[in-house]
């Protein structure tokens, strides 16, 4: 009996537990059914009526670009747009006509608007005009009762406050072309913009940021009923450049009206403090959309406003190359600083005559005199003794004929010829006459203004292989910022005493009455500069013209005038800045280019352009051409 009683109690407990479990499961099921059928009834009723939830991408703010002191030079600004929802107006033609009496709407815009209205559903907003000013917005708002279906929408648009003055450094953004949106759904949004040139292109991925998303409930016709969730995404990376916007704007204005380029650099760490190329373009116009006329004007301009001449222009260096030849001659030991050569105005090689820029010659010339009076005959001779291959080796150590990998597209290498190069490319042996022409920086030799700036920096910083750059930090493809480490500047292996001779001669070029750039000197001794002039012919001067008198630049067509060059550094007692200017068909280097470098270097010193600035780290021509110095 006792055993039966125990068995009965065990069975009762199990029955109770099983029954309790069933009741719990039943309660859970009933509760879930109540939640779905009562609490969420309206939601699921809507979804059941062929509705769905859409995920929409939200474009993040594009990253700002600032100068070394945090001044915005590429920013985002509010973009006021007037949009139309066609289902909210009875007479589309009348509504557009009324709007046209308030703000101008071109025939091209009307055609686009009608096309988009046909392609889109009637409840989808269509942009009629964007980039409206405040007066336009006010007039539209006042007339809203007479403009059914028309509203003002506010978005963001890329804005360049200094426009053409920073155009070639920053580049521009424009609408995404077919094929560019592959792999990134963000670029398929109607208002998306992508970097097309300059910094905007090189760091486009980092500047874009990461898209956000919006989850919206829409009905069967695609009309938005409500927004369920919203994620704003990740703003683009804030990029800090080494540029000083004050110096940049001054350099651009100083070149205004010329087809020219200027570069200013810190000779010790490679910071590019200014890089200007003129004529330029307004990058804001690319963002809003160029007309066909505007585009044709840009591409047909003989002064090439779309080319960044500072890194993409090829120029014979002219007499600015003479320090390279002198260093190569000293290193080979074919001449000493005190060795004198006689210049009678020309030198003969075979049946060819090579002229000095100074008719009648310079007389007895040593190395320093050869540089500060820019004697061509002196450099013909020392180039002949040195040979093209030794000259080329020195040029490459000084930064010529190479890309530096600067943070911009379109950087060119230039050309430093050698005997092997000519044999391989042209298919003939190197001639001694070509060495003479190379001795004054002409013939096959081609450089860029950036390379000339680097050359000058290495001449006066003690022979250190400084490399230029435009960003203050290292920027990864994903936008990650890491501080730029101190630059390693290995020695390029030039005797310091030889560099001292070059530096002293360059000081004399500017600050001695006998120098070719004396009139362009900085008179304030605190800011004194050194440098070297260069004038490069772009046409052949025949024997008859030499006999009758060489035609002056002012009497020639623009494209037949000499290029004007100057390289300089400052201050002379403790060099910090190097600069190079090339003015296409500008005339004499001493008259045209040297005063520009003078003004830029004096400005750089007065504003102390190379001071540290902020720290980022947060995401928010022919072979017979002559040179007359």
Return the domain boundaries, the chain: 56-240, 256-276+308-607
First to last CA, the chain: 129
- From the list 319, 374, 438, 457, the catalytic residue is 319
**Segment 271-293, tens digit of pLDDT:** 999 999 999 999 998 887 777 88
* Pairing of β 65-66 and β 239-240: parallel
Number of neighbours of residue 418 by Cβ within 10 angstroms? 20
At 9, list the tokens. 């109690």
pTM: 0.83
- What pLDDT is recorded for position 560? 85
- What pLDDT is recorded for position 622? 32
Distances (CA, A) of 131 to 135, 164, 189, 219, 489: 12, 19, 18, 32, 48
CATH number, domain 256-276+308-607: 3.40.710.10
- What pLDDT is recorded for position 5? 63
Q: How far apart are CA 91 and CA 148, in angstroms?
A: 9
- What pLDDT is recorded for position 87? 76
CA angle 376, 387, 338 (to 5 degrees): 55
- Does the active-site annotation cover 319? yes
Task: Give every residue of the chain whose pLDDT is below 70, as ranges.
Answer: 1-14, 16, 19-20, 36, 39-58, 120-121, 123-124, 178-179, 181-183, 185, 188-191, 213-214, 216, 218-225, 227-228, 232, 542-548, 615-629
Q: For tokens 């929802």, what's the residue?
A: 85
- What pLDDT is recorded for position 139? 87
Question: Using CB atoms within 10 A of its CB, is residue 540 exposed (0-12), middle (13-18) or buried (19+)?
Answer: exposed
Q: How far apart are CA 550 and CA 554, in angstroms?
A: 12
Q: How far apart are CA 453 and CA 53, in angstroms?
A: 59
Q: How far apart are CA 193 and CA 172, in angstroms?
A: 9
Q: How far apart are CA 244 and CA 263, in angstroms?
A: 12
- What pLDDT is recorded for position 627? 46
* C-alpha 152: how far from chain center: 35
- What pLDDT is recorded for position 240? 96
Q: How far apart are CA 252 and CA 277, in angstroms?
A: 7
Domain spanning 56-240: CATH superfamily: Penicillin-binding protein 2a (Domain 2) (3.90.1310.10)
3-state secondary structure of 247: helix
Check: CB of residue 418 under 8 Å from CB of residue 396: no
């Amino acid at each position: 009996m006792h055993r039966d009683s125990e068995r009965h109690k065990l069975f009762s407990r199990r029955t109770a537990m099983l029954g309790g479990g069933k009741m719990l499961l039943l309660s859970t099921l009933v509760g879930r059914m109540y939640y779905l059928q009562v609490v969420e009834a309206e939601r699921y009723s809507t979804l059941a009526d062929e509705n769905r939830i859409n995920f929409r991408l939200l474009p993040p703010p594009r990253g700002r670009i600032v100068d070394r002191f945090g001044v915005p030079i590429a920013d985002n600004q509010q973009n006021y747009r007037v949009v139309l929802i066609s289902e909210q107006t009875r007479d589309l033609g009348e509504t557009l006509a009324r709007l046209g009496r308030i703000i101008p709407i071109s025939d091209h815009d009307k055609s686009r608007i009608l096309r988009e209205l046909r392609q889109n559903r009637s409840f989808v907003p269509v942009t009629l005009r964007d980039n409206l000013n405040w007066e336009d917005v006010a007039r539209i708002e006042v007339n809203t009762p007479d403009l059914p279906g028309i509203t003002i929408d506010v978005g963001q648009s890329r804005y360049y406050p200094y426009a053409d003055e920073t155009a070639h450094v920053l580049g521009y953004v424009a609408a995404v072309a077919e094929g560019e949106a592959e792999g990134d759904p963000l670029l398929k949004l109607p208002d998306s913009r992508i970097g097309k040139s300059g910094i905007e292109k090189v760091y486009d991925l980092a500047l874009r940021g990461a898209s956000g998303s919006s989850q919206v409930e829409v009905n069967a016709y695609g009309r938005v009923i409500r927004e369920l969730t919203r994620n704003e995404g990740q703003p683009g990376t804030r990029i800090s450049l080494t540029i000083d916007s004050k110096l940049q704007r001054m350099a651009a204005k100083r070149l205004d009206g010329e087809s020219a380029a200027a570069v200013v650099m810190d000779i010790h760490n490679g910071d590019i403090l200014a890089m200007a190329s003129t004529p330029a373009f307004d990058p804001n116009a690319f963002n809003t959309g160029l007309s066909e006329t505007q585009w044709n004007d840009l591409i047909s301009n003989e002064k090439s406003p779309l080319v960044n001449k500072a890194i993409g222009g090829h120029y014979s260096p002219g007499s600015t190359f003479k320090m390279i030849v002198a260093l190569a001659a000293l290193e080979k030991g074919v001449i000493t600083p005190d060795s004198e050569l006689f210049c009678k105005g020309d030198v003969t090689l075979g049946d060819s005559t090579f002229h000095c820029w100074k008719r009648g010659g310079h007389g007895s010339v040593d190395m320093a005199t050869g540089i500060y009076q820019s004697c061509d005959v002196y450099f013909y001779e020392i180039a002949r003794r040195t040979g093209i291959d030794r000259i080329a080796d020195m040029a490459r150590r000084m930064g010529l004929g190479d890309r530096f990998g600067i943070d911009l597209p379109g950087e060119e290498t230039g050309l430093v010829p050698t005997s092997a190069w000519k044999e391989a490319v042209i298919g003939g042996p190197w001639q001694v006459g070509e060495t003479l022409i190379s001795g004054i920086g002409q013939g096959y030799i081609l450089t860029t203004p950036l390379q000339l700036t680097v050359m000058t920096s290495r001449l006066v910083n003690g022979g250190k292989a400084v490399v230029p750059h435009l960003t203050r930090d290292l920027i990864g493809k994903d936008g990650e910022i890491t501080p730029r480490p101190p630059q390693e500047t290995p020695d390029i292996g030039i005797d310091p005493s030889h560099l001292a001779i070059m530096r002293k001669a360059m000081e004399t070029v500017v600050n001695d009455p006998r120098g070719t750039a004396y009139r362009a000197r900085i008179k304030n001794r605190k800011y004194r500069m050194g440098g070297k002039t260069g004038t490069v012919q772009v046409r052949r001067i025949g024997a008859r013209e030499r006999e009758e008198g060489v035609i002056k630049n002012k009497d020639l067509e623009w494209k037949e005038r000499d290029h004007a060059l100057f390289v300089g550094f400052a201050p002379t007692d403790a060099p910090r800045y190097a600069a190079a200017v090339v003015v296409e068909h500008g005339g004499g280097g001493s008259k045209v280019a040297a005063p520009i470098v003078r003004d830029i270097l004096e400005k750089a010193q007065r504003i102390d352009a190379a001071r540290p600035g902020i720290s980022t780290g947060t995401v928010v021509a022919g072979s017979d051409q002559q040179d007359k110095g």
